[in-house]
Amino acid sequence: ALYPVLATVAAYLLGSLSFAVIVTRLMGLSDPRTYGSKNPGATNVLRSGSPVAAVVTLLLDALKGWLPVALVLEFGRPHGLEDGCAASVGLAAFVGHLWPVFFRFAGGKGAATALGVLLGISGWLGLATAVAWLVVALVSRYSSLASLVAAAFAPVCYLLMGGAAPMAAAMGAMALLLAWRHRDNIRRLIAGKEARLGGRKAVR
Ligand code: G3P
């Protein structure tokens, strides 16, 4: 079938828009790939000292995960695009964020985009996962730990809600890829060297 393939490629291209880089460039801020964790993501943009740029990055990186999933679920069925296609476009947007074709395949860690995908699948699931992230972030002040816990929480929560198999599989894959992209964070967390949110010192 042609449509699911085209939709998946389009979602990958959309996911490849690294908004941390785009937003900071448009706002005349320095490139997040040059400071802090060097990660092109909202958390690291926050380390530049611009909460506005960080929030805009978070929203746009989430939007690019939400949009393809929401479009397929809203308008896809008459064209034969079912849950499997929604799962595939969500995963493709996420993969685009991690390995963006427009940025030499050097992308981010996927937390915001995964949250967008979850919101596209189910508003309640996205909300519950965002709350899980917030609770861990507020208690620990580690953005990475919050992302790791939330990514593991989502598929479990979704299955408990009686969710569909293709989406659950996509969520499991996102959680594994997200954890792998956070491997340096995991090492720093274990060593007690991870930078905390709102902390004065950025990681090296
Ligand atoms: O999702 C990104 C966040 O979990 C960690 O980002 O910049 O602290 O490595 P960073």
**Which pLDDT does position 101 carry in this prediction?**
98
The CB of 57 under 6 Å from ligand 1? The reply is no
Q: 41: CA distance to ligand 1 center in Å?
A: 7
The full length of the chain comes to: 204
Contacts of residue 95, defined as CB under 8 A and 6 or more positions apart, other chains included, come to 12, 15, 177
Q: 39: CA distance to ligand 1 center in Å?
A: 7
Return the residue whose CA atom lies nearest to atom 9 of ligand 1: 37
Q: Which two tokens mark 138?
A: 């507020």
End-to-end CA distance of the chain: 47
- Per residue in 19-75, pLDDT tens? 999 999 999 999 999 999 999 999 999 999 899 999 999 999 999 999 999 999 999
pLDDT at 200 over 60: no
Burial class from Cβ neighbours inside 10 Å (0-12, 13-18, 19+) for residue 177 reads buried
The CB of 37 under 6 Å from ligand 1? The reply is yes
Ligand 1 pocket mutation pick from 33, 34, 37 by most atoms within 8 angstroms of CB = 37
Give the distance, in angstroms, between the CA of residue 118 and the centroid of all CA atoms in the same chain. 9
pLDDT at 176 over 50: yes
CA distance 152 to 73: 24
Give me the residue label for tokens 């198999």: 165
**Which pLDDT does position 31 carry in this prediction?**
97
Give me the residue label for tokens 């380390």: 47
Return the residue whose CA atom lies nearest to atom 3 of ligand 1: 144
**Which pLDDT does position 116 carry in this prediction?**
98
* Cβ contact 100:107 at 8 Å: yes
Band (pLDDT 50/70/90 cuts) for residue 198 is confident
pTM exceeds 0.90, yes or no:
yes
The CB of 109 under 6 Å from ligand 1? The reply is yes
* Cβ contact 145:136 at 8 Å: yes
143-176 burial, b at 16+ Cβ within 10 Å, e below that, comes to bbbbbbbbbbbbbebbeeeebbebbbebbbbbbe
Q: Which two tokens mark 167?
A: 């989406």
Instruction: Say what percent of the chain tops pLDDT 70.
Output: 98
- Per residue in 86-120, pLDDT tens? 999 999 999 999 999 999 999 999 999 999 999 99
- Per residue in 5-17, pLDDT tens? 999 999 999 999 9
Return the residue whose CA atom lies nearest to atom 7 of ligand 1: 44
pLDDT at 203 over 50: no
CA distance 65 to 177: 15
Return the residue whose CA atom lies nearest to atom 1 of ligand 1: 111
Return the residue whose CA atom lies nearest to atom 5 of ligand 1: 144
For residue 194, the ligand 1 atom closest to its alpha carbon is: 8
Structure ipTM over 0.90, yes or no: yes
What average pLDDT does the structure give for the chain? 95
State mean pLDDT over 141-151: 98
Q: Which two tokens mark 153?
A: 């929480």
CA distance 171 to 144: 18
**Which pLDDT does position 204 carry in this prediction?**
43
**Which pLDDT does position 1 carry in this prediction?**
79
